[in-house]
Amino acid sequence: MFGSLVSQLPIRLPSISYQAIGPELILFGAALVVLALSATVGRREHPQLYRGIGLFAAVAEGAWSANLLRLIDQHGPSLAIAGAISNDGFSAVVGIIVAAALVLTMLIGPGFVESVAGQGPEFVTLLLLSATGAIVMAQANDLIVVFLGLEILSIALYVMVGFRLRDGLSREAAFKYFILGGFSSAVFLYGVALVYGATGSTNLVKIAAFLSSHVLINNGVLLFGIALILVGFGFKVSAVPFHVWSPDVYQGAPTSVTGYMAAMAKIAAFAALLRVMMVAFHLQLEFWRPIVIALAVLSLVFGAVFALRQREIKRMLAYSSINHAGFILLGVLAATSGGVRDSLFYLGAYSVMVIGTFGLISLIQVDAGKVEGSLSLDDVRGLGRRRPAVAVLLAILILAQAGAPFTSGFIAKFSVITAVISVNEYWIAVVAMVTAAVAAAFYLRLVLALFSKDEAEVGVGDALYPVAVRGGSDQGLRLSTASLVPIWIGIWASVAITVFFGLFPTLLLDLVSRGKIFY
């Protein structure tokens, strides 16, 4: 009886292209190396070593992806590992963006996170693992592999969000993120199951082939599956109305983790979303575009409007990231190769900006003695006097997020607007730009606070002494010069990239326009 259930045939493994999955192997391997080292040379003795390995892995992953991109340009894209992995320009470009986000986080994050999570290898390991998940999602050509990547990414993020164990807010955030994240994964998986039921495959290319050669008389199951998949992605990118977790999580997570999460979760989820929608369901465009339009418009409007009411900076940036998600969704709903390019540009520009922004907020928190916790607008009032460099750099990044000219944020907004206009959705472009104007108000409120003359909340002591001295109580974190160096390198790099690609966007545009999805 069992003979019919258990196949007698030997299991045939597909041939594995190690070159195609090189990026994942590098990151995952580095994570294992860090863990093994920490077990042998001592957990807390060598934080610099772990970070060095992480940085090296991130750079190597970027270089490998760049090389893949070069090879793909020469020889064309292909599918690998029995069609489960897509080795195309899109995944290589996302690999490069992931590498950039990872390098910046490796530079900025560990110095701060050490203060809350100790000097162990956990942070670096989890960063590497989550980035592995992101790359799996970008390469996945099969809904099950998408789910695999999603879980690798998410589980690492759940842990990182809960790093500040002693803080109730952080515990709440981690729990909320875990419960809602798990729930959304389940919804996603249910959607995958329905799509499998309707089309007989989880492979994106096979789904597309099936849908182009068959006419479904009753396509309800398929459409419901697509809708559930969109809901799952909506949770991950925190698009309205699936955004309720994000302000709490952004506030509760350690600041560096927030910045990383804002960047990496978006890169990964949007990469997978773009590929799934463009490859598998391109023929169903007329059905899913209205859903994506609704998600985009709601995210744009509510992200901008709710942010106006926030006085807590990390919560405000959470709503701002919802607004950004709406902008990136514009590129998705266009569903053209131009839209893919513009979404990728936005993702790259946004990731760099947001990681730098949260790095600077971490620095301000160190000054204010609030280690990686929450930070209110009043805390940064008059910062321009006390820490001009921090204030100016933060102002540049905030203005870039608002879309000021000659920053990459401006070109990013411009390019997604062109994407929706090219498919004749003019009113959405108008809505998007109007929300950008509303969003400018809260960004400017932050900038206004930074350079405010009104120092009512700041005592005489604050004005007289450098702030690092003021925090001198034992609760405050004092960063050694050695750990400040990489932090400043990371922050300057993020500002420099933001301004450079604002002045010369052609370089980045050329890169992301090579990110073509293969199908």
Partner 1 sequence: MTVLDWLIALPALGALVVPMMSLPPENQRLIRYFGIAIALVELGLAIGMAVAFKLHTSSYQFVTKVHWIGAFGIAWYLGADGISLVLVLLTAVLFAIAMFTMKGVKDYRAYVGWMLLLEAACMGSFTALDLFLFFVFFELTLVPSYFLISDFGLGASGRAAIKFFVYTFAGSALLLVGIVSLVFIHDHQTGHLTFSLPALMHTRLPKGTAILLFLAFAAAFAVKTPIFPFHTWSPDTYRSAPIPAVVILAGVMAKLGAYGLIRFNLELFPATSRELAWLMLTLGVVGILYGAIVAAGERDLGRMVAYSSLSHMGFIVLGIFAFSTEGLSGSTLQMVNHGIYTAAIFLLLGMIYERRGTLDMNKLGGLQKKAPIFAGVFILVVMGMIGLPGLNGFVGEFLILLGTFITHRWWAVVAVLGVVLSAVYLLWMYQRVFHGEAKDDRSFRDLAPREALLLLPLVALIVVLGVYPIPLLSRINPTTSAIVHHVASAPALGNSGAPQAVASIVTGGAK
Distance in Å, CB of 434 to partner 1, minimum: 5
Nearer to partner 1, 486 or 505 (CB): 505
Which tokens go with 452? 């405010």
Helices (H), 280-425: 285-308, 313-334, 337-368, 383-386, 388-402, 408-422
Give the 3-state secondary structure of residue 459: coil
Distance in Å, CB of 66 to partner 1, minimum: 20
Distance in Å, CB of 446 to partner 1, minimum: 11
Distance in Å, CB of 134 to partner 1, minimum: 26
Which residue type does 219 have? N
Dihedrals phi, psi of 142, to nearest 5 degrees: -145, 135
Nearer to partner 1, 97 or 102 (CB): 97
Distance in Å, CB of 491 to partner 1, minimum: 17
Angle, CA 266 vertex, CA 495 and CA 347 arms, to 5°: 45
Angle, CA 371 vertex, CA 370 and CA 377 arms, to 5°: 40
Nearer to partner 1, 80 or 512 (CB): 512
Nearer to partner 1, 244 or 437 (CB): 437
Distance in Å, CB of 440 to partner 1, minimum: 5
Nearer to partner 1, 191 or 505 (CB): 505
Which residue type does 186 have? A
Euclidean distance between CA atoms 79 and 203, whole angstroms: 11
Tell the burial category of 311 from Cβ atoms under 10 Å away from its Cβ (0-12, 13-18, 19+). exposed
Nearer to partner 1, 414 or 500 (CB): 414
Query: What does the binding site for partner 1 look like in residue numbers (CB under 8 A)?
Result: 336-338, 392, 399, 404-406, 410-411, 414-415, 417-419, 421-424, 426, 429-430, 433-434, 436-438, 440-441, 444-445, 448, 451-453, 505-506, 509-510, 513
Euclidean distance between CA atoms 378 and 284, whole angstroms: 49
Nearer to partner 1, 66 or 423 (CB): 423
Distance in Å, CB of 503 to partner 1, minimum: 9
Given a contact cutoff of 8 angstroms between Cβ atoms, the answer to whether 470 and 461 are in contact is: yes
Nearer to partner 1, 195 or 436 (CB): 436
Given a contact cutoff of 8 angstroms between Cβ atoms, the answer to whether 259 and 266 are in contact is: no
SS (H, E, C) 225-285: HHHHHHHHHHHHHCCCCCCCHHHHHHHHCCHHHHHHHHHHHHHHHHHHHHHHHHHHCHHHH
Distance in Å, CB of 199 to partner 1, minimum: 25
Euclidean distance between CA atoms 147 and 137, whole angstroms: 8
For residue 110, is the peptide bond before it cis, meaning its omega torsion is within 30 degrees of 0?
A: no
Nearer to partner 1, 224 or 414 (CB): 414
Which helix or strand (DSSP H or E) is residue 86 part of?
Answer: strand 85-87
Tell the burial category of 118 from Cβ atoms under 10 Å away from its Cβ (0-12, 13-18, 19+). middle
Euclidean distance between CA atoms 161 and 320, whole angstroms: 19
Dihedral sign computed on CA atoms, order 141, 24, 112, 174: positive
Distance in Å, CB of 432 to partner 1, minimum: 8
Give the 3-state secondary structure of residue 80: strand
Nearer to partner 1, 238 or 407 (CB): 407
Distance in Å, CB of 225 to partner 1, minimum: 25
Nearer to partner 1, 227 or 423 (CB): 423
Distance in Å, CB of 155 to partner 1, minimum: 38
Strand partners, 79: 86
Which residue type does 269 have? A
